[in-house]
Amino acid sequence: TGGTGMIGRALTDFLRTGGHAVRWVTRRPDPARGDIGWDPARGTIDAAALAGCDAIVHLAGASVGERWTPAHKRAIRESREQGTRTIARAIAALAPAPRVFVSASAIGIYGDTGDTLVDEGAPAANDFLGEVAQLWERETAPARDAGVRTCIARIGVVLSAGGGALAKMLPAFRAGVGGPLGGGRQWMSWISLDDVIGALQQLLLDDECVGAYNLVAPNAVTNADFVATLGAVLRRPAVLPVPALALTTLFGEMATHTILTGQRVQPARLAGTSFVHEHPRLEDALRFELGRLR
């Protein structure tokens, strides 16, 4: 699920290059493409088409990166809760069952951690994103209870020149008007797109992987350090701060709980596997990603 998204497309291309057959689960299936139909809001899915799948990756969910109207907050919550419930129950009913189920989550589950470095053992926050992530993860239970190896990928800020937060920042920074957001002290636990794909592959293929894993680089940075590094890579000034008031005026509650707060997260459980980050340092990751645009 979520095959048309930034991570989904990259994972699809990567797996197909390795010789795997990949099918998308979508609300508007294209028979010529071999898609599998589902309707998470109604809890329906073409379960027969899932038969014989070795692995199922669940990435779908409404975007968090836009203004949180009451309707959109409901969509954020329900898309994750209903979608995960639908796919997990379908998996539990399959015979034979898939070998593994990998379901996305987010490091927003930890809330604003301040300067505290947290790992997968940290408690979930009681704010909106923390509660959504708990619901999201809880709905994987039917697959796990049916004996399917289940992994939860708590994904950080993914760096891609083709989408996500970095792509939104680039125009301002290229124009020389980028700078720290709010005070710039909030932590950013980032990861390159290639490392997200590599980590998901690890969860898919490593039979020892079970439970929650933080998909982040081992070196989180503050927002001020992030924008300074991005400015240096682009050879542009990055000193014009964006006041917190401007961000909350523009984006409302979303800015308060995402842009102006952060998580300082370490990939403790991922470090205990054979996975090796290709881009553990921010400057190297940015140079690699921005090099794709040349």
The stretch 92-110 carries a mean pLDDT of 97
> How confident is residue 292, by pLDDT bands cut at 50, 70 and 90?
confident
Cα–Cα distance between 151 and 57 in angstroms, integer? 10
Q: What is the pLDDT of residue 294?
A: 54
Radius of gyration of the chain (CA): 19
As beta bridge partners, residue 214 has 154
The stretch 234-253 carries a mean pLDDT of 91
Q: What is the pLDDT of residues 13-54, one digit of tens each?
A: 999 999 999 999 999 999 999 999 999 999 999 999 999 999
Structure tokens that stand for 272 in this block: 């205990």
Name the percent of the chain lying above pLDDT 70.
Answer: 99
Cα–Cα distance between 69 and 87 in angstroms, integer? 27
Q: What is the pLDDT of residue 293?
A: 63
Q: In 76-109, which positions are buried (b, 16+ CB within 10 angstroms) versus exposed (e)?
A: bbbbbbbbbbbbbbbbbebeebbebbbbbbbbbb
Order of strands, edge to edge, in the sheet holding 25-26?
Answer: 25-26, 36-39, 44-45
Q: What is the pLDDT of residues 158-198, one digit of tens each?
A: 999 889 999 999 999 999 999 999 999 999 999 999 999 99
> How confident is residue 76, by pLDDT bands cut at 50, 70 and 90?
very high
Q: DSSP characters for 90-137?
A: HHHH-SSPPSEEEEEEEGGGG---TT-EE-TTSPPPSSHHHHHHHHHH
> How confident is residue 250, by pLDDT bands cut at 50, 70 and 90?
confident
3-state secondary structure of 23: coil
Using the predicted structure, report yes or no on whether residue 79 has a pLDDT greater than 80: yes
CA triplet 4, 156, 216: central angle to 5 degrees? 115
> How confident is residue 204, by pLDDT bands cut at 50, 70 and 90?
very high
Name the percent of the chain lying above pLDDT 90.
Answer: 92
CA triplet 165, 133, 103: central angle to 5 degrees? 85
Cα–Cα distance between 99 and 138 in angstroms, integer? 20
Cα–Cα distance between 34 and 22 in angstroms, integer? 9
CB 101 within 8 A of CB 53: no
